[in-house]
Structure 1
Amino acid sequence: MEKIPTSFSLILMIIIPLLSFQEAFSQVVEGKDYSSRVNVDHTFDMAGEDIFGQRFPSENFTYQDKVTGVTINALTTSRHSSSKMYQTHPQWTSDGKYIVFTSNRTSRENGDRQFYAVSMDNYEIVQITTGSDNGNFHLGWKSGNAYLVKGQNIIELDLDQLLSDSEEDNVGEPAEYEKIIAKIPDTISPSGIGLDAEETSVYFSTKIEKHRSAIYKTDFKSGNTIKLKEVPFRIGHLQANPYVSGEIMYCWETGGDSPQRIWYLTVNNDGSVKNRPLFEESDSDWVTHEVFMGPDHILFNVMGHLDRLRKNKTGIFSLNIRTGNLEYHGQTNGGGYWHSNGTPEGNWISGDTFDGKLYRLNASDTTDVTLLSQGHRLLSKSPFTGEAHLHQSVSPDGKWVLINSSYFTENDIMLVPLHPANSED
């Protein structure tokens, strides 16, 4: 056998220990292999890296409400600020398998928030957006897509495929899931997209000048953007009817009370537009937080937290937008109700208060009111504090209420059973 040169032996003596050290540093310590737990250190995301499709271990923690005894599921519990989407938009993917939320757990250096999907099966979390400018985001009503605006581009995100690939640890580049389906003219700055019920177009508002805004529609097939309506106030909380194509609800946004809060715009088949106020207000009405409750009803709150507002009834109301029939669903003590959301068929309503109490209301019986949970705004007795706004959403199947909460951290998202006696432990 040929003798190995002395110089090569020396090289091997140097390299082999180095390779062993590298293995020990990354996976093996004192003879024990930790490679199967390689992702555990991502639990609190110390690095804050913006990585499209990355997965985070479950953070969920269940506890019993100390007042009601109801089991609450905190879906996020890390050090970061995690928030559900606004209650005007869908929270669950169309198949009900994931809840989508926003968080600052990545890209903290520049303040960007990303969107994430938490599994309803194992509560693991997946990052589904990347980069900056992700504010205009909307889940599909029926499809497995999501829609977002980046710059002037309207992008269709194949969320079903992304989530499936993430489960298999086989996520590609963002371009493999994102498709530009329309471009908004450079002269328009889109804000607050609403997705049409048929998922063939989006509506959005834009500020023209200080006291003037407009609503536009962009059609996916033609790519055309048209102005639907111009109004002499700031538009806020634009939302499309999830069940009926061509219908949009929006509000006169002031950051507080407004002369006439709720407005409804209908686009007819011939392209003509009808714009009208809903629930015409008196001077002493402070209306807020309007949402759809099925195809023909909206739900909203008339604030009662100030003495001057109590000349008329305050509390939660629903309105039939076809007939104009108004129904009263009650008021609670203290500062009164704040937000509301209902089951699609309109049988049950969820209302919350400034101090973080969450109630279930029977829509047909104002005496049938149940406290579900409390303590989600521990320090607050008014709306004007820094703690989380619950902004509750009822799941499409009517089983759950998704809320923001300051019970554990600055802001977490939690699931509360709407009917605790019927829910599984």
Structure 2
Amino acid sequence: MQFNKEKIVATIFLLIFSLSVCQAQIGKRFPSERKVVKDPVTGVDLVFLTSAPHGDSKIYPTHAQWTSDGEWLIFRSNRVKGEAMAVNEKTGDIVQVTEGGFTGMLTIAKKSMKLYFMRRTDNGGIQVMSTDLERLFKDSASGKLKKAPDYQKVHGTIPSEIGAGVDMALDADERQIYFRVGKEEAGRHLPEGVEVQPNFGPRNMGAGPGGIAKFDLNTGSVEHVISVPFQVGHIQSNPWMPGEIVFCWETGGKSPQRTWTVMADGSGLRPLYPEADFEWVTHEAVISKDEVAMAIMGHRDIEFAENKDDSPDAQNPGQEKSWGPSGTREKPTGLAIVNLRTREMRIEGQTESGSGLWHVHGSPDGKWAVGDDFSRSIYVINRDTKNMRMISTGHKTTAADHPHPTFHKDGKKFQIQSAMLSEDDRSMNICVITIPENWY
């Protein structure tokens, strides 16, 4: 029997290609990896919704984590490289929710079962897209999946000349998104006479100008919101208040003035929390209709000025001398919450030692605040009693990222990402922690 070598090779490639296309299909289901683990120190149940080493990572705390029905969490993963996944909190079922890739921030709607995301085009533009999660989950469960366009919608394309960044936020009315624009576009809208700021700190970031624009999800039109003389980062909307935006001056660390707020029509630009030179403010997150949580860091020794170089420290970041006279406990530090209406700020709590609370969040009902520290330990604060307790630890300082705790809308539980189960001490998994009843 004679074999045609070229035909055999072609057939093999075709099979491999077909298999990869099949594996990358939107709606593809993966078996549950759900595990409940007792915290080694506190004894609190840690519900790991993923437990295999697939490089999982949660959405950033500035954005929603759960779908509007409260049942699924959206996350990034290498199960299918470049695609987003959803995991059902009760069953542990995992479903692929994008096909064709995405870039930047995954943005979950609060009112509808929609996931919004961006995708780069060949000519440098940015497509704004959404997935109809309700239809997708239903068809995935029944095994009657259709092609990607039946679930994914292209709302329009942001032109390449705008230089759009992929830091996207969905307005509370779910009619428009906000996104970062490039320096050239920001400069075209910067008021005459405004002095552009240079880089700040050892990471050589923060130089302006920067800006924010909005994209209409129905018409595809783009409109500029604001330009500022510094680098813009962490754009987030207030999910309870249409037209309200919170963002930051991004330097990769301490900023001269970190937190800012503005309305969608460009009015009302102001510092959210006016900070002093000695304050290191970071990781702001809108947590309720009227409140924003943020960390005022206390991670530097009071004698930090004796450090004579800018060598980074992975275990204790932010020690470089060129960050300036900030971040010590000579002044008040801790998990702070600012009221957007009254502008009042309260410090809810702080660790007794160590880095202090770093990435912070709070429950929408105003009952709880939560934060992690450099050791990857998680603390919760009862805002009524000011009682603070460590709820979980052991999440490995070698992890690929930080826990980034973020509350569910019911205020009873929050999500983290953790390397606790990883053999390589780096790969992370999705985990949910419920506050014990007796902690109330």
Structure 1 contact 329–364 (Cα < 8 Å) conserved: no
1:81 aligns with 2:55: yes
* 1:214-233 pair list within 5 angstroms: 214-233=211-230
| Counterpart residue number, 1:408 | 421
The 1-side partners of 2:384 and 2:338 are apart by 14
Deviation at 1:76?
Answer: 1.0
1:371 paired to 2:340: no
Amino acid paired to 1:180 = V
Matched, 1:50 2:19: no
Deviations 1:183-205 (A, max 9, x none): 32231232211100010000001
Other-structure match for 1:193: 168
Q: Which has the higher strand share?
A: 1
Could you say if the C-alpha distance between residues 46 and 154 of structure 1 is closer, same or farther in structure 2, counting changes exceeding 3 Å? closer
Match of 1:289 in 2: 283
Q: Relative to 1, partners in 2 of residues 1:46 and 1:222: Cα closer, same or farther, differing over 3 Å?
A: closer
Distance 2:222 2:245 in 1: 16
- The verdict on how the C-alpha distance between 1:153 and 1:240 changes in structure 2, with shifts beyond 3 A counting, is same
TM-score by length of 1: 0.82
The reply to whether residue 144 of structure 1 matches residue 141 of structure 2 is no
Deviation string 1:345-382 (CA, Å, 9 cap, x unpaired) is: 2111112111121111011333x1122111012xx3xx
3-state SS of the aligned residue for 1:242? coil
Other-structure match for 2:232? 235
Aligned residue identity for 1:320: N
Output the CA distance in 1 between the equivalents of 2:399 and 2:34: 24
Mapping for residues 157-196 of structure 1, pairs under 5 Å: 157-190=131-164, 191-196=166-171
| Structure 1 residue 52: Cα displacement | 1.8
Residue 264 of structure 1 aligns to a residue whose secondary structure is strand
How much does 1:60 deviate?
1.2
RMSD: 2.1
Deviations 1:199-252 (A, max 9, x none): 000000123156221100112233221111111221111000000000100011
> Could you report, residue by residue, the CA deviation over 1:288-336 in whole angstroms, capped at 9, with x for unpaired residues?
1101121111110001010242231010111111111111111102221
Equivalent of residue 410 in structure 2, options 384, 387, 397 = 397
1:314 aligns with 2:333: yes
In structure 1, the residue matched to 2:177 is 202
Q: Percent identity over the alignment?
A: 36
Q: Could you list the per-position Cα deviations for residues 50-85 of structure 1 after superposition, in whole angstroms to 9, with x for gaps in the alignment?
A: 232111100111111121111111111112110110
Q: Distance in 1 between matches of 2:74 and 2:168?
A: 16
- Structure 2 residue matching 1:370: 3-state secondary structure: strand
Rounded Cα–Cα distance in structure 2 between residues aligned with 1:81 and 1:363: 34
Larger mean CA deviation between 194-203 and 391-400 belongs to 391-400
- Say if 1:252 and 1:173 are closer, same or farther in 2 by CA, change over 3 A: same
**Gapped runs of 5+ residues in structure 1?**
1-44
Post-superposition offset of 1:163? 1.0
- Supply the AA of the counterpart residue of 1:235: V
The TM-score, its normalising length taken from structure 2, stands at 0.79
Are 1:120 and 2:89 matched, yes or no? yes
* 2:297 equivalent to 1:277: no
Q: Is the Cα–Cα contact under 8 Å of residues 48 and 105 in structure 1 kept in the other structure?
A: no
Task: Classify the secondary structure of the residue corresponding to 1:216.
Answer: strand
- 8 Å contact kept, 1:118–1:124: yes
370 and 136 in structure 1: CA distance in 2 versus 1, 3 angstrom threshold: closer
Q: Which amino acid letter does the alignment assign opposite residue 414 of structure 2? A: V
Which residue is equivalent to 2:295? 301
Higher CA-based Rg: 1
What are the superposed Cα offsets for residues 24-52 of structure 1, whole Å, 9 maximum, x if unpaired? Answer: xxxxxxxxxxxxxxxxxxxxx99994232
Unmatched segments (≥5 aa) in structure 2: 1-18, 121-125, 185-206, 303-327
Q: Report the secondary structure of 2:358's partner residue.
A: strand
Alpha-carbon distance between aligned partners in 1 of 2:380 and 2:22, rounded to the nearest angstrom: 38
Verify: 1:104 aligned to 2:78, yes or no. yes
Deviations 1:244-269 (A, max 9, x none): 000100011111111110000113xx
Mapped partners of 2:105, 2:355: distance in 1:
32
Q: Distance in 2 between matches of 1:48 and 1:259?
A: 50
Equivalence for 2:258: 261
* 1:404–1:414 Cα contact (<8 Å) kept: yes
